[in-house]
């Protein structure tokens, strides 16, 4: 049986943001999503797993999801991606730090952006970008699955297989039994509901959801039980 997708989730920083490290065990290529803090801990996992970080992406630019971008970029050289509609929020990091009463993390110049329909690839895997505004204007969700073009760049006999469960990284848009707050600058309650209904609930029930905070869930159980989606 082919090796499975490496997916380590660690809770980083004061607000315990779920940072995902996703790696292809066959090629060693990896992507890091939402490195909010604790870059050394992230790098330790990367080293232990023998991975090479190819891409760094944040689901949105709240401080708890982007605090480690500059440090991780500095250590790996990997490109950093966000949705452009969240750039202004990123550039206002001083304000965000002030609201929380924490020091401003180092901020870098972000020049690469993702948009609805883009695909990020690492090894034999890919993440499809859904623009899901509402929590912030540039919030995105990522559908992670085995690459449709299969074995590009992989050694023979190492193609990703259907045993890898597809998963959704939902950032702070959808939580187990809840949705993201919309009372911060750029937030919109009607918009987050539309994003969830039109884009996330269009996904299969069995899809596993990794929210930006807290435990995992599935599209099906949120469709059925989430009080905000009744």
- CA distances in angstroms from 162 to 31, 111, 126, 150, 165, listed in the order given: 20, 35, 14, 11, 7
Q: Contact 132/117 with Cβ under 8 angstroms?
A: no
In the bound state with Zn ion, the residue whose beta carbon lies nearer, of 94 and 183, is 183
In sequence order, what E strands does the chain have? 6-12, 17-23, 29-33, 52-57, 80-83, 112-114, 119-122, 125-131, 140-146, 167-171, 174-175, 178-179, 208-211, 217-218
Which residue's beta carbon is nearest to the bound Zn ion?
62
Q: How far is the CB of 184 from Zn ion (least distance, A)?
A: 7
Between 27 and 141, CB nearer to Zn ion: 141
Residue (29 or 34) nearer to Zn ion, CB: 34
* Dihedrals phi, psi of 168, to nearest 5 degrees: -115, 125
In angstroms, give the least distance from the CB of 172 to Zn ion. 4
**Residue 63 C-beta: closest distance to Zn ion, Å:** 9
Nearest distance, CB of residue 98 and Zn ion, angstroms: 16
Sign of CA dihedral 63, 219, 54, 115: negative
Q: Shortest approach of Zn ion to residue 36 CB, angstroms?
A: 7
Q: 124 vs 212, which CB is nearer to Zn ion?
A: 212
Residues that bind Zn ion (CB under 5 A): 62, 64, 172, 212
Tell me whether residue 64 or residue 222 sits nearer to Zn ion (CB atom). Answer: 64
């Amino acid at each position: 049986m082919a090796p499975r997708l490496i997916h380590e989730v660690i809770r980083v920083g004061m607000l315990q943001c779920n940072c995902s490290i996703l790696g292809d065990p066959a090629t060693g290529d990896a992507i890091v999503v939402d490195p909010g803090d604790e870059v050394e801990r992230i790098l330790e996992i990367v080293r232990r797993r023998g991975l090479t970080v190819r891409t760094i992406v944040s689901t949105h630019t709240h401080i708890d999801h982007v605090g480690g971008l500059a440090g991780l970029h500095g250590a790996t050289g990997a490109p950093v991606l966000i949705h452009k509609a969240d750039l202004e929020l990123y550039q206002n990091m001083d304000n965000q730090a002030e609201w929380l009463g924490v020091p401003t993390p180092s901020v870098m110049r972000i020049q690469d952006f993702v948009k609805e329909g883009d695909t990020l690839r690492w090894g034999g895997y890919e993440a499809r970008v859904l623009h899901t505004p509402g929590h912030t204007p540039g919030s995105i969700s990522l559908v992670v699955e085995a690459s449709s073009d299969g074995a590009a760049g992989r050694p023979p006999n190492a193609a990703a297989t259907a045993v890898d469960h597809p998963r959704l990284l939902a950032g702070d848009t959808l939580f187990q039994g809840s949705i993201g707050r919309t009372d911060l600058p750029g937030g919109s309650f009607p918009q987050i509901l539309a994003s969830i209904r039109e884009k996330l609930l269009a996904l299969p029930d069995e899809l596993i959801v990794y929210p930006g905070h807290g435990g995992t869930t599935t599209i099906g159980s949120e469709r059925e039980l989430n009080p905000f989606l009744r």
